A and B are shown apart, each in its own frame.
Chain A
Amino acid sequence: MARKRRAAKRPRGATKTPTAVKRSARAALSVATSGRRPVRKRVAAMAQAPLAVCESDKDLQAMLNVLRNEDEPVKVRLAALQSLGAAAFSVIAFESCRGDYLAALRKVATDPNPELPQRVLGLLMREKDGFAQRKLLEGLKNPDKALVPPEKALQLLSYDVHAEAYAAARAIVGKPPNPDARREALRLLAADATAAPLFEKLLRDKKELREIRQISASALHALKPDRLQQVAREIVLDKSDYDDIKATSLMALATFGDDKALANDTVLLNSVDRFGAGKAPSKYKQGARRFLRKYGR
């Protein structure tokens, strides 16, 4: 029978009681919410305070007031937001705070400082909040009302497949305001069952950026896996296609393909052999060699 182990030497200062820890957190909160303290000290204190807001409504309101107050330094407001977000993870303790917190997030979603709307709209969209969705969709439809750039709006809308964003995403793919927006629109459309032909076309297009072709490969696998296997094979066999997309295609075949069929596909294996022996960057050649080893070469 195992004996009890002697406790190892305790670090210095490790004598705090729960009460002392709470007192310390409340003190930090007091510094954090005091407009008279330097910004640097307030930001540092915010990080020490997260769970203190759960203990007292007065402290919670003080923190929320900092978040909402446009006259507060933005660094302090962002630190308040982070601290509240950290506390929100303690769901049971945060139970009585959540309503006020969400209301404050909605208020701050239209803040003039651009970083705040971006962060709070992200937090709200991850809660599938209808308010945030409506604001983001309005902004895509009418750029004058946009609270965040279109690529960010699309990225945030992708947290909820039920957000009615596909039409807006298609419009942006057709007429992208910038490359990031096009990419995020495609990423969002990867959940659209009707978009498989679009992704096959993009995957085959050698003029497309690698990132777009990579997104397309993944999307096509989700929507029409047998088509991806076929196209990926064609890419590997195509001497004129790029090494990086060949590497992605090999990855797709090895990870999701029919192992038996691949092991018997002599034409493919010979092509991979040549790729592995050729002039591609070494990490791609290593990938080729791993592929060949997996299928018995």
Chain B
Amino acid sequence: MDVELQINNSASPNARFVSWAPSPCRIRVTNPSGAPSPTVNLKITGVSAAGGGVVVFRSGATGVFSSSVTLPVPTNGTSVPFFAAGKFGKPSAGNGDVTIQARNGTTLVGSAPVMVRIRKNANALTTAERNRFVAAFAQLNNQGLGRFADFRNMHTNVSSPQAHGAPGFLPWHRAYLLDLERELQAIDPSIALPYWRFDRPAPNIFTPDFLGASDQLGTVGFAATNPLQFWKTDGVQGINRRPFFSTSAAPPGLRNETQTLGLGTQYPAFRTLEGNPHGTAHTSFGGSISSIGTAAKDPLFFLLHANVDRLWAKWQRQNGRFNPAQPASFDNSGGNPIGHNLPDTMWPWNGITGGQRPPTAPGGALAASPCVGAPGPQPKVQDSLDFQGAIGAPARMGFDYDDVKFA
């Protein structure tokens, strides 16, 4: 007897990625030979490699997760749903380091290697994780000729009002990071965008093997084996980044996580994080990252913003702020510029140009994922809120942070 396991309700190996939020899955018998009865009880478990991710299961959309689930499955090929999720605190280190297995008794009848793919603290990545990330990022840049040029062109002085200084700041950047992450995953599906936890020392990030070490001039140097040495934006080679702090410590003056999460339980108060720690993190350096029109030239920008997004995610989790219909979740009080209201589509993914929008819309629609359907190719501001599917499962975006639970 053979069974097929579909992760994220897809038979494609490209969909075999889970996070903390539950992924809908299916199991069905594809070859019933040897089946003792029209329905068989199949036990689904996860088997982890050493140091690998851990997967937990439940049979329905609600309920407790456990390390295994046993399901009655018809042998006529009818699919039976179940849910799988990464066990909080046990992310994968590499693709396929945990295998979901289905057994009929003691007989293995089906398996699917999966990855618990989670956005992690960049300072704590393994060497392999780090190398995969920089390789993918360098390839996306492709010496200024790759898809990264679109991401650079999405974040310029001309386009900045679409995403800064008004309530859409957090939703827009969440979509922006997700779009980039999916493009990286198209190169290497094991990639999850790491974050720079800027309120803590992160010496492992600012090294020649990772995002580079700056000399006193602010010129960033890379190891000979680091493909980021070929980084190019706007036709100009290299990265300028001059830390105004010792990179063995955290930048001074930043609101720490507790202070940031304590800004307030209402979104209008919380979003003042745009000034500090977000703006202060940017201006803890001289160089590209310290000006809005050039910040996206530096790959560190995306790790900085991943942390801002993580803070938002954590605030949402702590305060139950996933529902756009709940006033405290957003600032929709009226008078917001275009692109900063819940029902507004977001540039550039909406393809709208001219008037109150920038003259061109680089990059096209937001990248799709083989794992989830959300937020769609032309997301609205409101589509960025329920990233875990806490309110409605279809809203799940397929990413999670290592220290932000699902429930």
The answer to whether A14 touches B265, judged by C-beta atoms less than 8 angstroms apart, is: yes
Q: Helix, strand, loop or mixed for chain A's interface?
A: helix
The reply on B32 being an interface residue by CB < 8 A is no
**Nearest opposing residue in chain B for A215, CB measure:** B237
Complex contacts, B261 vs chain A, CB 8 Å: 11, 14
Partner of A5, one of B283, B320, B393: B320
Query: What 1/0 flags go to A273-297 for Cβ under 8 Å of B?
Result: 0000000000110110000000000
The answer to whether B225 touches A89, judged by C-beta atoms less than 8 angstroms apart, is: no
The answer to whether A17 touches B62, judged by C-beta atoms less than 8 angstroms apart, is: no
CB distance from B228 to the nearest CB of A (A): 10
The CA-CA distance from A30 to B278 in the complex, in Å, is: 22
The answer to whether B284 touches A82, judged by C-beta atoms less than 8 angstroms apart, is: yes
The answer to whether A88 touches B292, judged by C-beta atoms less than 8 angstroms apart, is: yes
The reply on B351 being an interface residue by CB < 8 A is no
Partner of A255, one of B139, B218, B263: B139
Q: How big is chain B's contact interface, by range?
A: 35 or more
Interface residue stretch chosen among A64-72, A119-127, A130-138, A139-147 = A119-127
The answer to whether A251 touches B294, judged by C-beta atoms less than 8 angstroms apart, is: no
Q: Which of A173-202 contact B (CB under 8 A)?
A: 180, 183-184, 187, 190-191
Known: A123-B290, A218-B229. A161 touches B234 (CB 8 A): yes
Partner of B275, one of A8, A13, A51, A256: A51
The answer to whether B265 touches A90, judged by C-beta atoms less than 8 angstroms apart, is: no
Known: A15-B264, A82-B253, A255-B138. A8 touches B235 (CB 8 A): no
Q: Which of B148-182 contact A (CB under 8 A)?
A: 157, 160-161, 164-166, 169
The answer to whether A92 touches B224, judged by C-beta atoms less than 8 angstroms apart, is: no
Complex contacts, A248 vs chain B, CB 8 Å: 224, 229
Query: What 1/0 flags go to B315-342 for Cβ under 8 Å of A?
Result: 0011110110000000000000100100
Complex contacts, A6 vs chain B, CB 8 Å: 320
CB distance from B169 to the nearest CB of A (A): 8
Q: Which of B253, B282, B320, B392 has the most CB of A within 10 A?
A: B253
The CA-CA distance from A119 to B201 in the complex, in Å, is: 24
Residue total for A at the interface (Cβ-Cβ under 8 A): 82
Known: A16-B262, A48-B276, A255-B138. A2 touches B290 (CB 8 A): no
CB distance from B252 to the nearest CB of A (A): 8
Partner of B320, one of A7, A83, A244: A7
The reply on A210 being an interface residue by CB < 8 A is yes
Known: A21-B269, A155-B219, A251-B227. A11 touches B258 (CB 8 A): yes
The answer to whether B230 touches A218, judged by C-beta atoms less than 8 angstroms apart, is: yes
The answer to whether A126 touches B288, judged by C-beta atoms less than 8 angstroms apart, is: yes
Partner of B272, one of A25, A122, A155: A25
The reply on B291 being an interface residue by CB < 8 A is yes
The reply on A245 being an interface residue by CB < 8 A is yes
Partner of A218, one of B143, B274, B294: B143
The reply on B348 being an interface residue by CB < 8 A is no
The CA-CA distance from A123 to B291 in the complex, in Å, is: 7
Measuring CB to CB, which residues of chain A are less than 8 angstroms from any residue of chain B?
1-18, 20-21, 25, 43-44, 46-48, 50-51, 54, 78-79, 82-83, 85-95, 118-119, 122-123, 126-127, 151-152, 155, 158-159, 161, 180, 183-184, 187, 190-191, 210-211, 214-215, 218-219, 221-222, 244-245, 247-248, 251-252, 255-256, 283-284, 286-287
